[in-house]
């Protein structure tokens, strides 16, 4: 399926490091005030990040392949380009080989976006547009590109060049049969699809859940390009859930800071004595 998609104009350096998620592309969530990747926490088959109400963030994507990929991106179940309820077949961002880009907001035009900012769920764009069911999740569906078939060499007589011997023909046929097929959805893709069926942990929130606001307008330039997907379903789906730090601690995603600071003691009952004391009495 060939679709008109958005081509990013700016290649930037990302330092997501260990906080990036993904196989075909590195996906991370960036705190725009500090410029640093927000740490990811793996819990019961899902990745989580902790957001702060009012903080602006970006979805950083770095293509790890030597070819173009399409990233159909959603926030709170909404396509960040069109504002439609997110589906795999929609428009997204096209990344060149090894290209990196930060998606900073809901796209309003070819020249600007409404910034992503963490906010209480009732103030999120999803709830304000009547779609609260999927607040608190970021998704990136990655598609590889179907490349044009190689054009056979044509002789000056206008005919396809022929092999000079049956042995050469046999060798060519053997080589063609041994060539690897174009990549299709495999085990990793089955895992990506099954991830959508993982039971979500019950949220025991002590604070209001976080969503993503429709923030202030900012400049962000893109162009348009055509992209034909290798297959109808994504080659990989990356999902990152988010909420406040207080709620992640309440759910058990993140251990309380006091518990994290504790270190085991080999001799917890030891007193500062030089010799064995006398028994009582």
| Max Cα–Cα distance, the chain, nearest Å | 116
Write down the pTM of the prediction. Answer: 0.71
pLDDT score of 269: 64
pLDDT score of 148: 78
pLDDT score of 256: 83
Domain presence at residue 228: yes
What number of other Cβ atoms are within 10 A of residue 36's Cβ?
Answer: 14
pLDDT score of 197: 41
Domain presence at residue 78: yes
pLDDT score of 207: 72
Q: What is the mean pLDDT of the chain?
A: 79
Domain presence at residue 164: no
Q: Which residues in the chain land under pLDDT 70?
A: 1-4, 8-18, 149-206, 258-265, 267-279, 281
pLDDT score of 263: 56
Residues in the chain: 281
Domain presence at residue 153: no
Label residue 131 exposed, middle or buried (CB < 10 Å: 0-12, 13-18, 19+): middle
Rounded Cα distance between 100 and 19, Å, is: 15
Domain presence at residue 160: no
Q: Is 171 helix (H, G, I), strand (E, B) or coil?
A: helix
Write out the residue range of the structural domain in which residue 137 sits: 2-148+200-258
pLDDT score of 280: 75
Domain presence at residue 60: yes
Domain presence at residue 220: yes
Domain presence at residue 238: yes
pLDDT in tens, 50-99: 999 999 999 999 999 999 999 999 999 999 999 999 999 999 999 999 99
Domain count of the fold of the chain: 1
Rounded Cα distance between 87 and 96, Å, is: 22
pLDDT score of 277: 66
pLDDT score of 203: 47
């Amino acid at each position: 399926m060939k679709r008109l998609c958005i081509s990013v104009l700016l290649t930037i350096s990302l330092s997501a490091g260990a906080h990036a998620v993904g196989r075909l592309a590195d996906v991370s969530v960036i705190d725009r005030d500090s410029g640093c990747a927000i740490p990811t926490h793996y819990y019961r088959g899902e990745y989580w990040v902790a957001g702060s109400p009012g903080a602006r963030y970006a979805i950083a994507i770095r293509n790890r392949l030597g070819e173009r990929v399409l990233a159909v991106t959603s926030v709170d179940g909404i396509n960040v380009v069109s504002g439609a309820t997110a589906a795999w077949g929609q428009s997204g961002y096209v990344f060149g080989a090894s290209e990196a880009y930060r998606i900073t907001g809901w796209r309003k035009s070819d020249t600007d976006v409404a910034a992503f900012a963490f906010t209480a769920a009732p103030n999120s764009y999803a709830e304000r547009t009547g779609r609260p069911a999927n607040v608190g999740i970021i998704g990136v569906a990655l598609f590889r590109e179907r490349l044009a078939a190689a054009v056979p060499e044509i002789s000056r007589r206008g005919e396809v060049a022929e092999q000079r011997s049956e042995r050469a023909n046999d060798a060519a046929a053997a080589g063609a049969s041994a060539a690897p097929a174009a990549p299709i959805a495999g085990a990793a893709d089955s895992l990506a699809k099954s991830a959508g069926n993982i039971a979500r942990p019950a949220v025991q929130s002590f604070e209001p859940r976080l969503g993503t606001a429709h923030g202030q307008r900012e400049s962000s330039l893109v162009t348009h390009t055509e992209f034909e997907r290798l297959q109808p379903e994504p080659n990989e789906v990356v999902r990152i859930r988010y909420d406040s730090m207080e709620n992640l601690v309440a759910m058990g995603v993140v251990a309380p800071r006091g518990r994290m600071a504790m270190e085991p003691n080999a001799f917890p009952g030891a007193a500062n004595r030089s010799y064995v004391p006398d028994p009582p009495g």
